Amino acid sequence: MIKVNGRDFPWEEGLTVTKLLEKKNYTFPSIVIKINDKTISEDQWEIMAIEDGDDVKAIHLITGG
Amino acid sequence: MNYNLKENHKLLTEFQYQPSKADKGYTNKSLYVNLSDNKIKEKEVTEMIKEKFIGGRGFGLWYLWNAVTPNTKWNDPENEIIISPGPVAGITQYPGSGKSLVVTLSPNTGTVVDSNVGGYFGPLLKFSGFDALEVQGKAENDVVVFIDGNKGIVTIEEAPEEAVDSHILAEQLTEIYSESEEDKKNISVVSAGTAAEHTTFGMLNFSFYDVRRKAVRLKQAGRGGIGTVLRDKKIKAVVVRFKGVKGDSNNPADFEKIAKTGVKLHKEICRLDDSQNRMRHNGTTFLAGIMNDYNLLPTENFRFGSHPDGKLLTAKEWIKYFDYNGKADGCWYGCTLGCAKVVCDFELTSGPYQGQKVVVDGPEYETIAAVGSNLGIFDKEYILEVNFYCDTYGIDTISFGTTTAFLMECYQNGIINKETTGGLELTFGNKEVALKLLHQMAKGEGFGKIAGLGIRKQKELFVKEYAADAEFLNDIGMECKGLEYAEYVSKESLVQQGGFGLANKGPQHDEAWLIFMDQVNNQLPTFEDKAEALHYFPMFRTWLGLVGMCKLVWNDIVPESNKDNEEPAKITEHVQNYVDLYNAVTGNNIDINGMLDQSEGVYQFQRVFNLRMGYGTREYDQVPYRSMGPVTLAEYQSLQEQYDAQLKELLGVEPEGKSSEEKMKLLRQYREGQYHKITDAVYERRGWTRNGIPTLETLKKFGMDFPELVEQVEKHQ
């Protein structure tokens, strides 16, 4: 199990940032990703592995419709 | 033909004035027009008014307060329509700087409403010599009010021959009052349309002339029924002409600072827009797909937040229709974000203009969701047609959509039927009937007359006439304070429920739109966090309407450095830009806290204004349960796993063995309790009593302790 924005989410082997975003259907174009408080640049999302127990923040930079 | 139209004008009065030049963003004059006695005069804009009310919405509220009494109704002659652009409006160096705010007593809510709008009218009004326009009284016959800012003449003219529908009227008046093709860009027309005469949610179109396409374009002040007030006053249009807009027409205190701040944002937009929201290509349509993906897109009267056919309404589907040539489509000079999209040569399939090829402004996200998904309709050409007709008929797409969605759910539940609707089968997904209803509204015929009343009055009517279950109607009727909801599903965001319910004018998202911050990002875990967000964001966003700026350039483009900010949701760099612009135009020296204080004074004033008109207490901040949670079994079952988990985690209730009805009841009790808690927390943060009334200390803190305001709040302390 991992945390995504403070909520439990099932972990699986080979989970990367890109795969996580797909699973969550997070399609908004401006998202900041932090794993255990470390910012992950977008060019690392495909390869950055998420480990079991990680605390992931996917902060959507949108505050206005 | 148009020459003859002008020949048939009857001049009722003419007023000559010496146009004041703007000085540090203000002309220090306002224009007052009374249609009952055809009196026109200039008024001084005092230092007090500028200091306390800043401009835009603030000026509108102040003038309206002084024009009406607690007994004034929206259709009384003393009600006013006030248009004011704000001190920063009209600069051309920073994107999104041409906004006007319109204020009136609303036919929807019975109290004061404000609506913001682009188009050229506000800046041209200012450069014609006026920080605000007040129109009071009622004309006997249809009139046009014309302001010639170059000649210093204001006239009231009876105008019997022109069309009422905006797409024709705005073209006619642009041609009549311009001196040449070249001069058309110096004209802006404010108008409504035929449906504004028969509904409570008429809106105003503000025109600008699109030189590239040689077409009149329309932007809308949509909310609150201001177009209905316009037509009730028998105003066909208010027209301004001003030739000579320059980059420094505001005569700002520090032009260099404005230019530098503008260049920084222009570069940012050029660098980043293509990889962010693509506003230059998509306009606000980009939100439709996003909302569908995050289960936030209103579908079938807000019952659901997503639909498989939602993919048909995404931005890539819309850009096929847009006439986009790679140049910015702004609604005021200098806007490189350019979100004002347009569809040209769109052939209409219904109504009085069937077969004609027209220009359609938009669609905006709100329109797509309101008249499309929320009615269970995912047909783009139908949406464009409704968009066009709502605009030209002068009605608000949001209120039209949300109201029709409510009627469709009533129809599907047998509350109304084919007999009561005059044969209209108002089922979700029935696009032909939605269009018929819209055309009926324009004519004031058939069931269109009832549809045009808006949800609040329909609920009363259906209970009285059809013995409908009042509790069910209150649950599913998506209105608060009499205003129909804007198009976001707020069920899973307590903060957004408050963002809608605790807004001064009713459930419009321009005060606080915090769904992602709350529901997706989970950045507001405590009630203190939630209340702080429901304080900061409404205050900040209110300020944009005081100075005449657009919200979109605040957060629909985001600087690279923002990701490292401690509070990324605030996009502080852009907030600082706004403060810098305000200081550079006016010569004042405020910081972000000073900005919020300016805003909060006006916000508190508006709350007391509501109180004065007989509203503004806790009972008026209550919201329909549909905005909080699942009303029907189908809604619960659509997200059963999620709701069951919440019962376990949040209430400690084991869902197994309980019926869906029992679970829905438990969830409802919990969510209603949460809404009361957030209400308490927000009231406390805003300096209000538990009944939602600003305390005397709060009024004093923000310099709003005028005797007449103190008198209002003392009655309720």
CA distances from B11 to B8, B15, B125, B134, B214 (A): 10, 11, 21, 20, 29
Report how far residue B284's alpha carbon sits from residue B340's, in angstroms, rounded to the nearest whole number.
9
User: Are B488 and A5 in contact (CB < 8 Å)?
Assistant: no
In a domain, residue B247? The reply is no
Radius of gyration of chain A (CA): 11
- pLDDT on residue B2: 59
| Pair B204, B301 in one domain | no
Q: Which domains does chain A possess?
A: 2-60 (3.10.20.30)
* Separation in Å, CA B136 to CA A7, B75, B188, B708: 55, 11, 20, 22
Number of domains in chain B: 3
- Which amino acid would we find at residue B695? T
Q: Are B447 and B515 within one domain?
A: no
Range of the domain at B680: 494-714
Say if the ipTM goes beyond 0.90.
yes
Last residue within a domain, chosen from B484, B505, B530: B484
Is pLDDT above 70 for B88?
yes
In this structure, the dihedral spanned by the alpha carbons of residues B659, B660, B666 and B668, taken in order and rounded to 10 degrees, is -160
CA A4, CA B316: separation in Å to the nearest integer? Answer: 29
Predicted local distance difference test score (pLDDT) of residue B37: 98
Whether the predicted pLDDT of B687 surpasses 80: yes
pLDDT, one tens digit per residue, over B625-653 is 999 999 999 999 999 999 999 999 999 99
Question: Does B122 share its domain with B74?
Answer: yes
Q: Which residue of A lies nearest to B277 if distances are taken between CA atoms?
A: A29
> What per-residue confidence (pLDDT) applies to B511?
87
Q: What is the mean pLDDT of residues B329-355?
A: 96
Regarding whether B555 and B479 lie in a shared domain, the answer is no
- In this structure, are B317 and B367 located in the same domain? yes
Residues from chain B contacting residue A26 (CB–CB below 8 Å)? 293, 520
Which CATH number goes with the domain that contains B283? 1.10.569.10
Select the residue from B272, B290, B529, B574 to test the A interface by mutation, using most A Cβ atoms within 10 A: B290
Indicate the residue of B365, B517, B552 with minimum beta-carbon distance to A63. Answer: B517
DSSP code per residue over A6-43: TEEE---TT-BHHHHHHHHT---S-EEEEETTEEE-GG
Mean pLDDT, rounded, for B373-380:
98
Interface touch B294/A62, C-beta < 8 Å? no
Tell me the mean pLDDT in the region B490-502: 97
Contact A63 B537 (CB under 8 A): yes
Assess whether pLDDT exceeds 70 at residue A65.
no
Instruction: Please report the pLDDT score of residue B139 as a whole number.
Output: 98
Please check whether residue B447 lies inside any domain of the structure: yes
Q: Is the pLDDT of residue B3 over 90?
A: no
Q: What is the pLDDT of residue B324?
A: 86
For residue range B588-603, what is the model confidence (pLDDT) as tens digits?
A: 999 999 999 999 999 9
> Which stretch of DSSP H or E encloses residue B451?
helix B448-451
pLDDT digits (tens, 9 = 90+) for B414-447: 999 999 999 999 999 999 999 999 999 999 999 9
Angle at B587 between CA B581 and CA B590, to 5 degrees: 70
What is the reported pLDDT for B716? 87
User: Is some CB atom of chain A closer than 8 A to the CB atom of B339?
Assistant: no
**Mean of pLDDT values over B214-231:** 97
Q: Which chain A residue has the Cα nearest residue B522?
A: A5
Find chain A residues with C-beta within 8 A of B562's C-beta.
61
- With 60 as the cut, is the pLDDT of residue B1 above it? no
Q: What is the pLDDT of residues B41-72, one digit of tens each?
A: 999 999 999 999 999 999 999 999 999 999 99
CB B532 within 8 A of CB B684: no
Do B17 and B154 meet the contact criterion of CB atoms below 8 Å apart?
A: yes
On the question of pLDDT at B315 being above 90, the answer is yes
For residues B566-576, give the mean pLDDT: 91
| Mean of pLDDT over chain B | 96
B656-679 confidence digits (pLDDT tens): 999 999 999 999 999 999 999 999
Residue B515: which CATH number? Answer: 1.10.599.10
pLDDT value, residue B663: 97
**Interface contact B72, partner A, CB < 8 A:** no
Q: Among the three residues B241, B268, B300, which one is the final residue of a domain in this structure?
A: B241
Put simply, whether B275 touches A (Cβ < 8 Å) is: yes
Q: What is the pLDDT of residue A1?
A: 96
pLDDT tens profile B97-109: 999 999 999 999 9
- Angstrom distance (rounded) from CA B106 to CA B81: 10
Q: Indicate whether B248 belongs to any domain.
A: no
pLDDT at residue B406, as a whole number: 98
Which chain B residue lies closest to A4 (C-alpha atoms)?
Answer: B521
Question: For residue range B464-491, what is the model confidence (pLDDT) as tens digits?
Answer: 999 999 999 999 999 999 999 999 999 9
* Domain final residue, candidates B456, B484, B512: B484
- B226 and B286 in a single domain? The answer is no
Provide the mean pLDDT of chain A. 93
Annotate B645-694 with DSSP letters as a single string.
HHHHHHH----TT--HHHHHHHHHHHHHHHHHHHHHHHHHHHTB-TTS-B
**Whether residue B476 is found in the same domain as residue B514:** no
Query: Any CB–CB contact under 8 A between A41 and chain B?
Result: no
Report the pLDDT value the prediction gives residue A64, as an integer from 0 to 100: 65
- CA–CA min distance A65, chain B (Å): 6
* Residues B299 and B215 occupy one common structural domain: no
Higher pLDDT, B421 or B511: B421
pLDDT of residue B566: 84
- Give residue for tokens 């963003």: B25
**Residue A10 forms contact with B (CB below 8 Å):** no
Same domain, B461 and B599: no
> Which chain B residues have a beta carbon less than 8 Å from that of A6?
522, 525
Give the three-class secondary structure for B154.
Answer: strand
Q: Tell me: do B461 and B503 sit in the same domain.
A: no
Burial of B464 (0-12, 13-18, 19+ CB in 10 A): exposed
